[in-house]
Chains A and B, each alone.
Chain A
Amino acid sequence: AQTVTQSQPEMSVQEAETVTLSCTYDTSESDYYLFWYKQPPSRQMILVIRQEAYKQQNATENRFSVNFQKAAKSFSLKISDSQLGDAAMYFCAYKSNFGNEKLTFGTGTRLTIIP
């Protein structure tokens, strides 16, 4: 079974600075997706970014980018120019491309933005 590990329960960053959230995963599969979801206090689960394992190029969405290291099974999220609205829980998630599309989540990292 796949597992996803987020080793940083909490992180903080000054507004306008850059922060990196870590995620590692364990799988024997070669074809899969990785995701970062944001959960603000409103409790919504919002997709931030996704990465397809067979693509070597790191995904980018505006201020959010990932560092995907397939051999190391690492998938970190970098947030540039941090804003107060980025404060939230961030979850890393894994999805196999074989079978039922279910997501396996990490335990989350709570990100605080310091004004």
Chain B
Amino acid sequence: NAGVTQTPKFRVLKTGQSMTLLCAQDMNHEYMYWYRQDPGMGLRLIHYSVGEGTTAKGEVPDGYNVSRLKKQNFLLGLESAAPSQTSVYFCASSEPYQPQHFGDGTRLSIL
């Protein structure tokens, strides 16, 4: 029972490169979320989805795009990585009115 799986777990990019973070959940949850965690700032919501084919902006969406083409997957894209996007990224999923289940995080460093 995998729960929420994030790929990759660690990545180093150069400024201006692009990449996609993948989140997969096997719990058939309707809602999925992407957060970033920076030192001293807690987790902040980047984008979220309330169902297949839907996405919406969170608190800090600039520089990121997302897609939810399949219910079980939620992709987070960085089109042109910047050093300010160095962070730990967490994906989560949930059913309405239920607690969120988190993945183990992806540590992303941008040089």
Contact = CB atoms under 8 A, between A and B. Distances in A.
Interface of A: 4, 9, 35, 42-45, 47, 50, 91, 97, 100-108
A44 B104 contact: yes
13 contacts: A43-B105, A44-B104, A45-B90, A100-B50, A100-B56, A101-B31, A101-B94, A103-B43, A103-B45, A103-B100, A105-B44, A107-B40, A107-B41
Interface residues of B, number: 23
A88 B102 CA distance: 16
Interface string B81-107: 000000010101010110110101100
B31 to A, nearest CB: 6
Contacts of B33: 102-103
- What's the dominant secondary structure at chain A's contact region? loop
Given A43-B104, A101-B31, A101-B50, 13 more contacts: A9-B40, A43-B88, A47-B99, A47-B100, A91-B43, A100-B50, A101-B94, A101-B97, A101-B100, A102-B33, A102-B48, A102-B58, A107-B40
